[in-house]
Amino acid sequence: MEADPGSVYTAPPQATFLQKLGPGGAVTLVLALLCFLLLLGLPWLWALARVLRQARRDEAAPADAILVLGRQLEAGSPTPVFQARLAQAVLLWRRGLAPRILVAGGTTGRAVRSEAEAGRAWLVAQGIPSAVIRVEEASQHTVENLFHVRALLRSEGWGALLLVSDPLHMARAQASARGLGLPVRCCPAASAPPVPGSLGWWLRAGGEAFLLHWYWVGLGYCRLFRIHGSLARIT
């Protein structure tokens, strides 16, 4: 299923948590929590294994564009995690693996500019020509990043993308991209904090595992009950 971006619910700029959930989001969150509890956390453990495995996998190869997923800004500037993602894109571009860099992310939190625009400015400061950089500024979270990027990819006739994020985010980003039919190769930014093996790292891994579990539950629920409005956002 491929939907027109203009006909599908998109969270507004600086969206609240409930606005980001969108239609049906609260239902799938409750179902994900119930599934976690009733099955004694086993789906979460399965998702955690996927998060840890994907964090170590680098699939860098020639592609049409490098896609950097955004992250909420702090004081209007990219966080260390976002900077690590952008730095990974710079390395890939300088290796000649793709001719352009696409930064995704709208205006989130209390920021007055989009994540994508902040990312563009950071890349230009590193010496990347502005003509090489494209931005997607309509999205509020990972699935929306990828949904809007898909429309741009189709309109430009691009093929494979190098998907860049921090290692623990890669499994969820890859699952969301595949759900949308995007041809991606994952290239984790290994330098992104937190430090592997630290308490912060394990807490982030556990959180990402639940979000991945939630995505799988939501996808299954929408397909089972044919919730077309929600499916249009994720497939």
Give 96-139 pLDDT, tens digit per residue: 999 999 999 999 999 999 999 999 999 999 999 999 999 999 99
How far is residue 9's CA from residue 26's CA, in Å, rounded to a whole number? 15
Residue range 186-201, pLDDT digits in tens = 999 999 999 999 999 9
Q: Which residues contact 233 (CB under 8 A, 6 or more apart)?
A: 3, 8, 9, 22, 143, 144, 147
Q: What pLDDT does 190 receive? A: 97
Q: How does 169-207 read in b/e, with b if 16+ C-beta sit within 10 Å?
A: bbbbbbbbbebbebebbbbbbeebebeeeeeebeebbee
Helical residues (DSSP H) of the chain, grouped into ranges: 17-21, 25-38, 42-55, 80-94, 115-125, 142-156, 170-179, 199-224, 228-234
The pTM assigned to this predicted structure is 0.95
Q: What pLDDT does 154 receive? A: 92
Q: Is the CB of residue 48 less than 8 Å from the CB of residue 209?
A: yes
Q: What domains, with CATH codes, occur in the chain?
A: 8-53+198-234 (no CATH), 59-186 (3.40.50.620)
Q: How many residues does the chain have?
A: 235
Helix (H) or strand (E) segment spanning residue 195: none
**Residue segments in the chain with a per-residue pLDDT below the cut of 50:** 1
Q: Which residues contact 84 (CB under 8 A, 6 or more apart)?
A: 166, 189, 191, 192, 193
Residue 115: helix, strand or coil by DSSP? helix
Q: What pLDDT does 7 receive? A: 78
User: At 224, phi and psi to the nearest 5?
Assistant: -65, -45
Residue type, 21: L
Dihedral-angle region of residue 77 (phi above 0 means left; psi in -120 to 50 means alpha; beta otherwise): beta
CA distances from 227 to 6, 21, 99, 140 (A): 18, 15, 38, 21
Residue type, 235: T
Q: Which residues contact 168 (CB under 8 A, 6 or more apart)?
A: 51, 55, 201, 204, 205, 208
Nearest to 189 by CA among 202, 173, 177: 173
